[in-house]
Amino acid sequence: MTLIKSISGIRGTIGGAVDENLTPIDAVKFAAAYGTWLKNQRKKETYKVVVGRDARISGEMIQNLVMNTLVGLGIHVVDLGLSTTPTVEISVPLEHADGGIILTASHNPKQWNALKLLNAKGEFLNGAEGQKILEIAASNAMSFSEVDDLGKIAVNDAYIDIHIDEVLDLELVNVKAIKDANFKVVVDGVNSTGGIAIPLLLERLGVEPVKLYCDPTGHFPHNPEPLKEHLGDLAKAVVKERADFGIVVDPDVDRLAFMDETGEMFGEEYTLVACADYVLSKTPGNTVSNMSSTRALRDVTEKHGGTYEASAVGEVNVVTLMKKNKVVIGGEGNGGIIYPDSHYGRDALVGVALFLSLLAEKQMKVSELRASYPNYFMSKKKIQLTPGLDVDGILSTMEANYSDEKLTTIDGVKIDFADSWVHLRKSNTEPIIRIYTEAPSQEAADTLADRFIAEIKKVANI
């Protein structure tokens, strides 16, 4: 069992020993540290934090612990209940709140949960801010309020609808064209809050949703990471229903993937490529994704006369570079769309609306749209970490072994070859080393990944 503290938040498995898992005591400690950090940012009479969660089985328990800890610090709480990560993000500035907490472990299995921490802009904390919270938690430097100064909890269950209103109001979302297209779409909500939000959005856009696993029970019917090997039921449903395409999201609805009308994956990496193609065709500019994302975004950006740059992995790193480069759209190759005209956070609802607008305007099948983009193939593999493994030393050795190649070392080691690349890094969210490769064929990508797995194991003596 595991407790991971990183720029992606406090993430761990439910149950087990304190300080080794996400136990109730750990949830209270880190919520208290966050609330203390927040109050240290500015001195004022009242503070407010928005709290929402995905449909995980442990979600209600963790949310109650977190909210009442904030109440104990004298902080008022807006309880969104079942929500999505992007919905909580947009609600923070709309509520004029001081911050937000999303209780979700994203793509991790049901035994995991996490506290994702937001600032007053509804954006993830940076590394320095996250480190300060860890220091507060480690030192127990928290002081709670007296009885007359406790915070209060106010329930607001309107924000998914408000979020949808915000998406429909975006200038580039072509509501009329989408409605005229009479799309039929199968939605796999993995029995979490995507099963609430995505069908509601589709209905507002005049799209007929066919619901698959859209009951928010938290009992995930398959591995919740939206990858091809987990989506056999969606493929069957798309073909059976003669749908125009399929949509799948992760449990907190910040990752988005599509399936074409034949039941084949559009490619999670190509979610951002397609949305960027649409946005760049209307508002030319630059793009950003992380180092583990496909070269196809670079190609599409340059086709529209823009410039592409890669950031370190992690949403906060992508957002920082997006702001610096003043990009019109960016995100991550795992299906995360970040559209600044909406907000600086990965948002599957925005991605769905942009993709539908593109498809409606082009009047083509999803398979035809995918065939119109550069064809790269990726392999994503992992090596489980063992206690005491010197990951930094392993990556340094790999860097030295490939010093004659083009290297990028802002996040692990990325090695660029003429027609392929490999990225080796320690995960922010799991106790693993990730190995990403991209090449002109799937066989070449898999072979490259296997080669580097063998090399890492040889260096590490495992």
User: Using CA of residue 319, residue 323, residue 324, residue 325, what is the dihedral sign?
Assistant: positive
Reported confidence tier of residue 7, pLDDT bands at 50, 70, 90: low
Q: What is the pLDDT of residue 315?
A: 93
Q: What is the pLDDT of residue 81?
A: 97
pTM: 0.94
Instruction: Please name the CATH architecture into which domain 377-460 falls.
Output: 2-Layer Sandwich (3.30)
Q: What is the pLDDT of residue 388?
A: 79
Residue range 92-120: mean pLDDT, rounded: 96
Residue range 236-241: mean pLDDT, rounded: 98
Q: What residues act catalytically?
A: 106
- Residue 330 one-letter amino acid: G
Q: What is the pLDDT of residue 24?
A: 97
450 and 438 Cβ atoms separated by less than 8 Å: no
- Whole-number Å distance between alpha carbons of 119 and 114: 16
CATH topology identical between 4-156 and 377-460: no
386 and 201 Cβ atoms separated by less than 8 Å: no
Q: Each residue of 268-278: pLDDT tens digit? A: 999 999 999 99
For the chain, report the end-to-end CA distance as a whole number of angstroms: 21
CA atoms within 13 A on the CB side of 129: 22
Residue range 27-38: mean pLDDT, rounded: 97
Reported confidence tier of residue 430, pLDDT bands at 50, 70, 90: confident
Residue range 314-332: mean pLDDT, rounded: 96
Q: What is the pLDDT of residue 410?
A: 94
Q: Which CATH superfamily is domain 4-156 in?
A: Alpha-D-Glucose-1,6-Bisphosphate, subunit A, domain 3 (3.40.120.10)
Reported confidence tier of residue 304, pLDDT bands at 50, 70, 90: very high
Q: What is the H or E stretch that residue 459 is in?
A: helix 442-460
Reported confidence tier of residue 6, pLDDT bands at 50, 70, 90: confident
Q: Each residue of 121-149: pLDDT tens digit? A: 999 999 899 999 999 999 999 999 999 99
Whether 8 has a pLDDT exceeding 80, the answer reads no
Reported confidence tier of residue 1, pLDDT bands at 50, 70, 90: low
Reported confidence tier of residue 429, pLDDT bands at 50, 70, 90: confident
pLDDT, greater one: 8 or 312? 312
221 and 190 Cβ atoms separated by less than 8 Å: yes
Residue range 28-47: mean pLDDT, rounded: 96
Going by DSSP bridges, is the β-strand pair 75-82/47-53 parallel, antiparallel, or unpaired?
A: parallel
Percent of the chain whose predicted confidence (pLDDT) is above 90? 92
Whether 462 has a pLDDT exceeding 90, the answer reads no
Mean pLDDT estimate for the chain: 95
234 and 246 Cβ atoms separated by less than 8 Å: yes
Q: Which residues face 115 on adjacent strands?
A: 10, 103
- Whole-number Å distance between alpha carbons of 455 and 136: 40
Helix, strand, coil percentages (3-state) for the chain, rounded to 5, are 40, 25, 40
Please report, for the chain, the start and end positions of each structural domain, with discontinuous segments joined by +. Answer: 4-156, 162-372, 377-460
Query: What is the chain's length?
Result: 462
Decide: helix, strand or coil at residue 384: strand
Give the closest residue to 313 by CA, choosing from 127, 36, 83, 173: 127
Residue range 189-201: mean pLDDT, rounded: 98
Whether 9 has a pLDDT exceeding 90, the answer reads no
Q: Which CATH superfamily is domain 162-372 in?
A: Alpha-D-Glucose-1,6-Bisphosphate, subunit A, domain 3 (3.40.120.10)
Q: How far is CA 180 from CA 177, 206, 305, in A?
A: 5, 8, 31
